[in-house]
Amino acid sequence: MASNKLINVHLFGKEIGRIGLNEETLSSSFQYKPEYLQESNYLNIFPETGILSRIPEVQLFNRFNNKTFRGIPPQFADSLPDLFGSIIFKTWLASKDKHEITVLEQLAYVGNRGMGALEYSPIKKIPKTASINLTEIIEVLKSVLDVKQVVSQKKLTSKALINVFKIGSSAGGARPKILISEHKETGEIIPGDIEYSNDYDHYLIKLAIDEVYPREHIEYCYYQVATAVGINMMPSKLIENKHFATLRFDRQNGEKQHSLTATGLTGWDFMSIENSSYENLFKLSNYLKISHAQIEQLFRRMIFNVVFRNIDDHLKNHSFMYNSAEDRWNLSPAYDITYRLNPLIDFKKEQRALSINGKRSDIKLKDVLIVAEKFTIKNPRGIVKEVLAGIELLGNEMNALGIPKHVSNQIMVIVNNVRKAFGAKSQL
């Protein structure tokens, strides 16, 4: 492959293979390290979903040359920054008078700092910082996100930008967020890009920066309601009563946890409607042989997202975790569960990221029951009833947190309309 560059891939302290990429054609290759294939453990780190095969030969790919995968196999594209991380990346590069880097160079910057457990070498070294100041980070991010200013006008110090780059460029999603680690005994907060020891709690923090409405407060209320109605989520809290912080499921018990999104596992582009359906998520779950209890948990999440209008429940907002001891995959805790639309805007038409029974809007009880029958969900009406019971709790939580009435009232009107769409209580 002309103009080809290579980068090594590591997992659990072992080099497992090497990625190659032709930047001109955005065609790529992957080859397992022969010594790794001879080992008898970790056989299922990349399930056979029609992308990577556990073979010694070089595997070639030319079908991932789009914005989501940028030419490389989805399992590794999962490590690349999403929208917010890319903004941080571009600002960092511009501060160094460098405006373009290759995808593999970007993975080299991710190095051992990425989400999940995959690591890449050789690593592009970044200066270490011992501590962070949340107020300073937010001020820097305000400047970084100010699209009216060019980088040279932003007056960002090297230290401040390094901190933002280290803890803000690896996290996924579109909203401003950082990774921090908080010492369990002293409460000291340090950058969370590399640290994963059990001495710390490891958080992903969504930052409240010049919000038009209190998004982080709303997400915290949704977390409270979701866990109350049986959704499995990592413990979360508000920091300084304004930033939403959730423990990371990919950092537990002093170890990195190998995890991939549904997009990373399958190559289903989360930005395309082609494979974006809950039915496909259920099929993937069955293929991975996760327990039926987890299948029912996925159904409960689907119901919650419909009832509480979380329409941005796309394929990268559903992940699976690898159990290295059992060499099998499990459904990850739920995340990014919130009211996705601006409640101050009256949206006449909205489309769900994931379809249900072929529909992306106006989901009725019969639609979710058809899915339940297809995937043998026990007592689906009971699950719907339990989730609907959370509507009143949502109102109470928003009132307790002091969310402005004009915001909370609008959310409650829309959520109650969903309750009506699901029919009378006698149907449940």
Per-residue pLDDT at 59 exceeds 90: yes
Contact 415, 308 (CB under 8 A): yes
What is the average per-residue pLDDT within 1-14?
79
Bridge partners of residue 237, in order along the sequence? 245
**Going from the N-terminus, what domains does the chain have, and what CATH number goes with each?**
4-77 (no CATH), 83-97+125-210 (no CATH), 255-427 (1.10.1070)
> Is the backbone peptide bond immediately before 122 cis, with ω within 30 degrees of 0?
yes
Q: How confident is the model at residue 126 (pLDDT cuts 50, 70, 90)?
A: low
Measuring CA to CA, which residue among 293, 278, 281 is closest to residue 379?
293
Q: Per-residue pLDDT tens for 201-211?
A: 999 988 887 67
Is residue 180 helix, strand or coil?
A: strand
Q: Per-residue pLDDT tens for 21-49?
A: 998 888 999 999 999 999 989 999 999 99
Question: Taking the model in full, what pTM does it have?
Answer: 0.89
Cα dihedral value 325, 329, 330, 336, nearest 10: 120
Candidate from 136-140, 252-256, 278-282, 352-356 with smallest mean pLDDT: 136-140
What is the average per-residue pLDDT within 379-407?
95
Q: Supply angle C-alpha 110, 14, 29, rounded to 5.
A: 65
Tokens of 122: 């050789």
